[in-house]
């Protein structure tokens, strides 16, 4: 049986990944479209696909496909492809390096908001010398929506810095969200994008938050309602928003987010897949699947993550 790798990266990046995967797996990995052409025999021989945001419809072309390993932690794009057979097991990427990268990004921007960097940046632009009272991290509870791989690593790093952390996950139930929203000075979104979580970062949620809290969205663009974020910032309901993910990426040049004084835009870089470690994590999971052992990050289609 064969392995195929589908991605929409450039041809040189695709070949770099192909090399890493072949080394980690010790076998040939075919390169699928758009960078490699596969005949009907190739497609029929494939039992495992390794994917990074593949074009819709590709996975349905392999009649003997038994397992799909994503090289991304978020599988919302994969699940949106209605041609992916229902019975096919899908695994998202679980890589400790990815979680560490996310924790670093969360710590960076939580500290930035806590230490009032947006205010000092604005003051510097206006040549204003004006100190603001600076509480300690211990006085700044941080709320995290989504306590999975990303959320747990981020919470651990924030706690090490002295921030009290209030986490919320699906298993905690909807009622538990109230306390997180009411107490958090800074709210960090690390949820997967599912039908339940789409547009969660909107006016009704902001109305339940502590007035003037900061917002960080490192989940998916589909979690946020941009018009509601801008309205909340303009009304002082939110003090600042750090946004790394958007419905349309790259963020269009005419988006009002680019020039809003209370918005920090980053280009979907909170946690990048590290090809060196991710190839090994994917290979370990593929070996486990073929040996009939449990795989990590198995996606529950009904839950959507």
Cβ(29)–Cβ(77) below 8 Å: no
- Residues 6 or more apart whose CB falls under 8 angstroms from that of 189 comprise 145, 146, 200, 201, 215, 216, 217, 218, 219, 223, 224
- We find the least distance from the C-beta atom of residue 158 to ligand NAP, in angstroms, to be 15
Q: Does 218 bind ligand NAP (CB under 6 A)?
A: yes
- Active-site residue, 220 included: yes
Q: Which of 2, 69, 70, 194 binds ligand NAP (CB under 6 A)?
A: 194
Contacts of 184 (CB under 8 A, 6+ apart): 141, 142, 143, 166, 209, 210, 213
Single out the residue of 10, 163, 183, 148 nearest to residue 73, CA to CA: 148
Q: Is 89 within 8 Å of 65 (Cβ atoms)?
A: no
Q: Are 6 and 69 in contact (CB under 8 A)?
A: no
Catalytic pick from 115, 268, 287, 290?
268
Binds ligand NAP (CB under 6 A): choice among 41, 171, 250, 254: 171
Question: CA gyration radius for the chain?
Answer: 21
Contact between 191 and ligand NAP by CB under 6 A: the answer reads yes
Instruction: Pick from 43, 73, 188, 286 the residue near ligand NAP by CB under 6 A.
Output: 73
- Interface residue with ligand NAP, options 244, 260, 263, 280 (CB under 6 A): 244
Does the active-site annotation cover 109? Answer: no
Among 54, 143, 219, 221, the residue binding ligand NAP under the rule CB under 6 A is 219
- Does 185 interact with ligand NAP (rule: CB under 6 A)? no
Choose the stretch contacting ligand NAP; rule: CB under 6 A; options: 39-47, 51-59, 123-131, 192-200: 192-200
Give the footprint of ligand NAP on residues 257-296 (CB under 6 A).
268, 270-271
Q: Which residues is 264 bridged to in the sheet?
A: 242
For the chain, the distance separating the N- and C-terminal CA atoms, rounded to the nearest angstrom, is 28
Which value, to the nearest 10 degrees, does the dihedral of the CA atoms of residues 130, 136, 140, 146 take?
Answer: 120
CB contact at 8 A, 241 and 223: no
Catalytic residue selected from 35, 109, 114, 220: 220
Minimum gap (Å) between residue 153 Cβ and ligand NAP: 8
| CB of 241 closer than 8 Å to CB of 218 | no
Q: In whole angstroms, how close is the CB of 155 to ligand NAP at the nearest point?
A: 11
Q: Does 148 bind ligand NAP (CB under 6 A)?
A: yes
**141 scored as a contact of ligand NAP (CB under 6 A):** no
For residue 288, the minimal CB distance to ligand NAP (Å) is 18
Task: Please state the closest distance from residue 105 (CB atom) to ligand NAP, in A.
Answer: 7
- Contact between 147 and ligand NAP by CB under 6 A: the answer reads yes
Query: CA triplet 62, 66, 67: central angle to 5 degrees?
Result: 105
Catalytic residue list: 220, 268
Q: Which positions touch ligand NAP (CB under 6 A)?
A: 73-74, 98, 102, 146-151, 169-171, 190-194, 196-197, 218-220, 244-245, 268, 270-271, 305
């Amino acid at each position: 049986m064969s392995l195929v790798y589908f991605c929409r990266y450039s041809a040189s990046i695709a070949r770099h990944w192909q090399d890493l995967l072949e080394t980690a797996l010790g076998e040939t990995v075919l390169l699928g479209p758009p960078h490699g052409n596969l005949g009907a025999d190739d497609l029929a021989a494939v039992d495992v696909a390794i994917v990074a945001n593949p074009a819709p419809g590709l996975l349905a072309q392999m009649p003997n496909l038994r397992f799909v390993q994503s090289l991304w932690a978020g599988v919302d794009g994969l699940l949106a492809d209605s041609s992916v057979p229902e019975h096919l097991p899908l695994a998202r990427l679980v890589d400790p390096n990815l979680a560490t990268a996310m924790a670093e990004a969360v710590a960076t921007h939580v500290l930035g908001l806590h230490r009032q960097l947006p205010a000092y940046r604005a003051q510097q632009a206006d040549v204003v010398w004006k100190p603001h009272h600076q509480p300690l991290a211990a006085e700044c509870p941080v709320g995290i929506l989504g306590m999975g791989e990303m959320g747990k690593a981020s919470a651990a790093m924030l706690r090490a810095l002295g921030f009290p952390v209030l986490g919320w996950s699906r298993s905690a139930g909807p009622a538990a969200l109230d306390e997180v929203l009411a107490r958090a000075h800074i709210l960090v979104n690390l949820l997967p994008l599912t039908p339940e979580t789409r547009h969660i970062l909107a006016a009704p949620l902001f109305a339940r938050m502590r007035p003037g809290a900061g917002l960080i969205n490192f989940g998916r663009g589909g979690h946020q309602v941009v018009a509601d974020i801008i309205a909340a910032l303009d009304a002082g309901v939110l003090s600042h928003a750090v946004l790394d993910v958007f419905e349309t990426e790259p963020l269009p040049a005419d988006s009002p987010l680019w020039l809003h004084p209370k918005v920090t835009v980053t280009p979907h870089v909170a946690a990048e897949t590290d090809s060196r470690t991710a190839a090994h994590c994917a290979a370990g999971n593929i070996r486990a699947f073929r040996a009939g052992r449990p795989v990590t990050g198995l996606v529950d289609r009904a839950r959507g993550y």
